[in-house]
Amino acid sequence: MARLTSLASVLAALELPEDEVLAPRDGREGGPPVAGAPREGYVVGSMAHGAQPGYEIWVNARNQAQFYAAYAEMLEPGRRSRSRRRQRSRQRLSLGRRPGDGGDAWVGEIYPEGHWAGPATLATSYRLAAQYAALVDARWATKLAVRAAMAYVSSGLPFGLFLATGLLDDETLNDRVTLRALVEPFRNPEASDAIRHPVQQTYLLLAASSRPWLRDPLRHALRDAERRLTAHGLYSIGPQGIPLGDYVDLAVALRYDDDSAGLGGSGASFTEIARRLAGLQRIQATALRAAQRNRFMWRRGASAIDLENVALSGLALRHRPWFGELSEAISEQLVRDDELAELPLWTMGEVETELPDIADSVTDIMREPERAWRLGDFREPDTETDPWTGEAFRTRETTRSPTARSADEEHRSPASPTRPDYPVARRDDAAPGTRPKANPDTESYGPLGPTSIEYPQSAAYGSDDYASDGDEGDDGDDPYSGDK
């Protein structure tokens, strides 16, 4: 019997054991967790309302999902070309030198075109976004994961095919255009070095073992794969450092179960698959408990959901029409284990439940992955539901200012640096609670205002000696809050 049956139960399981209840930062008393805490005053990133078990993890998961999605989006080729057009447009308008270096110009510098780091970071960022989003909204997480899968595929990595076939059902995958996009890059084993790499071969083998219809198009790439992978069986791979041989064994167990592979199809393989998956999930639970020891990182940045493990479960659960049955069998295997071992099953169950409703969006993302970020329903959770009450809410867009301050605070205290020569728009020009007015000549510049002010390239730095000040003692707020 599964113990993780709802998001609230997952968040409670993720809560740090014997954690002290921190007082909310608004000065109210902390107190023990309270069921059904009010939503009023909900501010992302604060403990402005009662301390539900896992509340801070949930809030931070949402913020991290947004951060990684935003970072990935900045790397989208379509977005970059738009930025370049915008920059050329500025130059044509002879607007002079921009203060700073112009919004997202950093992307081209840090991830130059043609270098592998850009596509790799794009895929990684979407994957991480999906992992955090899984603790917020399964629909949102699925779409981000599919975008990540397509990014891996377009980089020539079979891991993308592994992710997509694990997460999605045959009905969703049964689209000629998307299927071709998914499989075509891996038909020819000479297409890239990555296809022949043992780790990527393993992912390819797992995908083909799960779906018989993949075996024919992948037959060249997978010729003699099991024998070749034997030599690499003891190498640790994946986020949990599991021996590659364990993955291959699971792939073999899936194939033995398959009548079409001519290898039988016995009830014994059902138990074998459940046993192997339970073993893999125990390892993840152990790793998560180890991660909890770093309480600072766990509260803020723990990535409890591992998409690779989720997809691995998905490949087995979708291998036959036995999703619920096998899921139950794996849960039975884990009944005496840490409940965190059930996380991949719970995530996969959520994806399965929500998939029919978002199948069209998913197909759109797979057909045109580079345009996915333009879709409204790709950027935000589909539904914002209180995990503890089940009530839908959506206050974020209307209550939070760009600096997470209230409208009054925003008006009273412009969040601009203190240097008088600093080229930031004077936010007190704007009405309370509104964004600063855009300069009509520089509309696309966003919040930056005058363009004639030089950025302080040769600023006169402070001359005070930190050690000899004598007044730098612990007598006030540390200006470096949050700095590690």
Partner 1 sequence: MFVQMCVKGMHGITLEDACAIMGSRGLTCAWWRHAGRISSAEIDERLTAEELDLHVNSYEDKHPTRGGRVKDESPFISLTAGQVERDKYEADNLTHPAHLVAMRFATNFGNLRGECFLFYCWVIVGMRPSVPVRHLAEEVRELNTYARFSPFQLEGEIVAKVEVPPRQIEKFEHYECQDGRDGLPELRRLGTVYNKKGYISPHDVTNYRPMLKKPDRLGN
Nearer to partner 1, 260 or 434 (CB): 434
Chain-centroid distance, C-alpha 348: 15
Shorter beta-carbon distance to partner 1: residue 103 or 265: 103
Q: Which is nearer to partner 1, 46 or 389 (CB)?
A: 46
Q: In whole angstroms, how close is the CB of 266 to partner 1 at the nearest point? A: 33
Residue 392 near residue 384, CB atoms below 8 Å: yes
Alpha-carbon distances, residue 149 vs 242, 296, 422, 453 (angstroms):
21, 30, 42, 44
Beta carbon nearer to partner 1, 92 or 484: 484
Select 261 or 287, whichever has its Cβ closest to partner 1.
287
Q: Which two tokens stand for residue 56?
A: 């801070």
Alpha helices in 293-342 (DSSP H): 295-301, 307-317, 323-333
| Closest distance to partner 1 from the beta carbon of 429 (Å) | 17
Compute the least distance from the CB of residue 289 to partner 1, in Å: 10
Matching residue, tokens 């409703």: 357
The two tokens of residue 283 are 């390892």
C-alpha torsion 304→306→307→311, nearest 10 = -120
Specify the DSSP element, H or E, that contains 237.
strand 236-237
Q: 177 or 459: whose CB is closer to partner 1?
A: 459
CB of 239 or CB of 432, closer to partner 1: 239
Is residue 279 within 8 A of residue 309, CB to CB? The reply is no
Q: What is the DSSP string of 417-461?
A: -S-TT-----GGGSPTTSPPPPPGGGGGGTT---SSSPP-TT---
Task: Give least dist CB 108 to partner 1, A.
Answer: 11
Least Å distance, CB 320 to partner 1, is: 27
Q: What is the nearest approach in angstroms of partner 1 to the Cβ of residue 183?
A: 19
Residue 51 near residue 38, CB atoms below 8 Å? no
Exposure of 421 by Cβ count < 10 A (0-12 exposed, 13-18 middle, 19+ buried)? exposed
Cβ at position 122, least distance to partner 1 in Å:
10
